[in-house]
Amino acid sequence: MLRLEAGAPTSELVKQLGVRQKLIYEWLSGCREQGIASLNPERGPKPGKLRMKREPAGDTFSQAKARLAEL
C-alpha cells in the first residue's frame, strides 16, 4: 500500500503479487476507509449459508438399532 501511495503503478504490483488490478484498488480503498485492519477481515461462514447440525454418531446408531429391533 505504501508503494501505491508513493505513486507506483498498479500494473507493477499486479505482476508482482499475481492478483487482479480490481483487488489492488479494493485493498487501497479499504485501507483508506478502515485502516490496515481492513486487510485482515474476520473469517467465518459466508452469509446465507447455513450449516446443519450433526447428531452424534452414537445416537444415530442406537436409534437405528432400536428401530431394527422393533421390526
Whether 28 is covered by a domain: the verdict is yes
pLDDT band, residue 43 (cuts 50/70/90): low
The total number of structural domains in the chain stands at: 1
pLDDT at 35 over 70: yes
Q: What are phi and psi of 32, to 5 degrees?
A: -70, -40
Q: What range defines the domain where residue 10 resides?
A: 1-39
Of these ranges, 2-11, 16-25, 29-38, 54-63, the one predicted with the greatest mean pLDDT is 16-25
Whether this prediction's pTM lies above 0.95 is answered by: no
Whether 16 is covered by a domain: the verdict is yes
Judge residue 31's burial from the number of C-beta atoms within 10 Å of its C-beta, 0-12 exposed, 13-18 middle, 19 or more buried: middle
Q: Which stretches of 9-56 are DSSP H helices?
A: 10-17, 21-34
Whether 7 is covered by a domain: the verdict is yes
Per-residue pLDDT reduced to its tens digit, 10-21: 888 888 888 898
